[in-house]
Amino acid sequence: MKVLFSFLIVCSIFVANSQNTLTPEILWKFNRVSGGTVSPDGNYLLYSQRSFNMAENKGNTDLFVLDLKTNKSKQITETPFSEFEAQWGRNNKIWFMSTEKDGIQIWKMSFDGTEKQMVSSFADAEIEGFKLAPNESFVLTIEAVKVNQTVNDKYPDLPKANARVEDDLMYRHWDHFDDFKKRHLVIHQISNSTSIEINGVDILNGEAFDGILPPHGGSEQFCFSNDSKKIIYTSKKLKGKEFAQSTNSELYEYSIESKKTRTLSEGYLGYDNNLAFSSMDQMAWLSMARNGFEADKNNIIIRDGSGNDKNLTKDIDLSVTDFAWHPSGKMIYFIAVIKGTAHVFEMDIATSKYRQITIGQFDYLSISIFGDNLYCGRQSMVNPTDLYAVSIKKGKVTELTHSNEDLLKTLTMPKVEERWVETTDGKKMLVWMVYPPNFDPSKKYPALLYCNGGPQSAVSQFFSYRWNLALMASQGYIVVAPNRRGLPGFGQEWNDAISKDWGGQAMKDYLSAIDNASQEPYVDETRLGAVGASYGGYSVYMLAGIHENRFKTFIAHCGLFNLESWYGTTEELFFANWDQGGPYWLDENKENYKINSPHNYVANWNTPLLVIHGGLDYRVPESEGMQAFQAAQLKGIKSKYLYFPTESHWVQSPQNSLVWQREFFEWLKEDLKP
């Protein structure tokens, strides 16, 4: 009898655990895996894992190494400080940065975490990243260098003044005001592989430009030549208004010996970045053709030893997000979005023949290569990132890390289904349908239309820690996620179609998707909501004026409400100029602003609205959210304003993120009652 009773208890625990569903609190317990670079001898995989302490409101990143022979992982750092910028050196040594003591340090250690030694300590310099030279004679650091005068410099007798005096644009960018510094690249010599000289050479020589593309660029935007004698970096050497209206970055080559710099990418008019050398000294980089269009097709350009260039992906209707050379120098492997998924492709350099290697309902995020295998990060809408081995010849995929396996075993996750919907202009559109856990088609569920941002960013198999579609579905909603006009992965024509037509066909695509879903007997068409951020927030404001009572509630995060006021306050004007045609005061643009700005449709608003905005959002300034909230309040519409003074276009701190999610689902529950 006792045996039977124990068995029943075990079974009940198992059933209870297996019936858990994803919640905001559980989402923040997931470990976040990144990296995945293979060691020089091909035996080990180096990666990072970030976890969060909600009570302390902070995260911590540690380093791990996976033994590819035994498939066992070992944590090789465990400190109260984050370790980052980890990279392989010679003899399977690992170099990385840390804030373990005062300031920033660069360390090296063996692959198993032993023999750890500090090779530099930058107590005074502001170091933000680094890269090791192939011969380990140098490191190149990203350092904040003061290049402009503050008001206190101008008036030294007023040390407590905090005013700013501006005479040009780009005084603020994304989430911060200009700090009067530029991110320069500084080369430091290494002595006997054990000590880095603190005083290095600024290869930009005091120029008032960044040696990377601010504010999100990092060490992926510069590299050493194979012989460690040259440095190639990306920079947009423009100032103020010119910088704000152009995407024309250039590649520059700096000679360590002569200390001279030359331009490598003259004639290429858009973004040029992320350069890498092959074993045969071929140079490859990502390049966009059109100046001012940040979402243009990304091609791979190859330059041979004679200086001849070849656009490797010119004839392929795919936009590349990342690439890696095969060690032989004869192949390149790249990642591109295709039909709502991100996959790995192989291309023969000599023939330009290519093939898709990976398949399935996944997003591949990174590539590292050794021998016949690719090592990739992979995620889906229902699985956070882990690392996988992919056989180049056979395409066989093997999971290597299981960073959240125990937690995932306790959860019943949603199901994601691919659906193709006919649009109003007779085209086929991919729509992801995300169904609640234990979905029962005999029941009726409320549905959420997910409006994506960008506007030209993919609705692929992403696993987000805020806009997590599996989390939404786990609260009892069917999530409808259309790949509407203006997204990559369906050809460049589909991607480009949204420019200067924000409120047109894309809105019709949204309505086609939700109308199609509403025909299903398990969708309650009286309980529909629309949610989104950035252009998705714009979409919510726009739909609020044209939806003809389809929706019962709306949530808009950092959305654009008034395109004229937004044009006057945003910073990277090339984006506004390309997608809106230019300034609102030009006669040729007035009609576009009139028909595409949500504030012109407020007279039709009649639906509850939650507005969310961050105080440090300078891409879509907070006044856009305030205007929308004020309009809803004055019209007597049920509305709420959720404001984060210290967050930007994103909500990144753990506790603020939980506030965001709790308010998000509380609002939906009031109106849609899942």
Tokens 């028909």 -> residue: 595
Cα–Cα–Cα angle for 591, 545, 578, rounded to 5 degrees: 40
Residue by residue, DSSP assigns 319-350 as -EEEEEE-TTSSEEEEEEEETTEEEEEEEETT
Alpha-carbon gap, residue 311 to 309, rounded angstroms: 7
- Name the active-site residue from 368, 617, 639, 671: 617
Alpha-carbon torsion 54, 59, 63, 67, what sign? Answer: positive
- Name the active-site residue from 534, 597, 639, 648: 534
The type of residue at 148 is N
- Name the active-site residue from 188, 343, 613, 649: 649
Residue 534 annotated in active site: yes
Closest-CA residue to 639 (of 612, 620, 665, 614): 612
Alpha-carbon gap, residue 378 to 376, rounded angstroms: 6
CA atoms within 13 A on the CB side of 207: 19
Per-residue H/E/C for 17-44: HHCECCCHHHHCCCCEEEEEEECCCCCE
Alpha-carbon gap, residue 610 to 67, rounded angstroms: 48
**What's the length of the chain?**
674
Alpha-carbon gap, residue 595 to 503, rounded angstroms: 7
Q: Which residues pair with 344 in a beta bridge?
A: 335
Per-residue H/E/C for 38-81: ECCCCCEEEEEEEEEECCCCEEEEEEEEEECCCCEEEECCCCCC
CA of residue 387 relative to chain centroid, distance: 18
Task: Give 140: exposed, middle or buried? Use CB within 10 Å, 0-12, 13-18, 19+.
Answer: buried
Instruction: Give the N- to C-terminal CA distance of the chain in Å, as an integer.
Output: 42
Residue 649 annotated in active site: yes
CB atoms inside a 10 Å sphere around CB 350: 7
Closest-CA residue to 361 (of 427, 456, 459): 459
- With contact defined as beta carbons under 8 Å apart, do 385 and 400 qualify? no
The type of residue at 254 is Y
- With contact defined as beta carbons under 8 Å apart, do 85 and 105 qualify? no
Alpha-carbon gap, residue 653 to 406, rounded angstroms: 25
User: How is residue 436 annotated by DSSP?
Assistant: P
Torsion angle of the four alpha carbons 479, 21, 56, 108, in this order, in degrees rounded to the nearest 10: -90
- With contact defined as beta carbons under 8 Å apart, do 228 and 189 qualify? no
SS3 assignment, position 451 = strand
Alpha-carbon gap, residue 209 to 250, rounded angstroms: 12
Question: Which residues does the annotation mark as catalytic?
Answer: 534, 617, 649
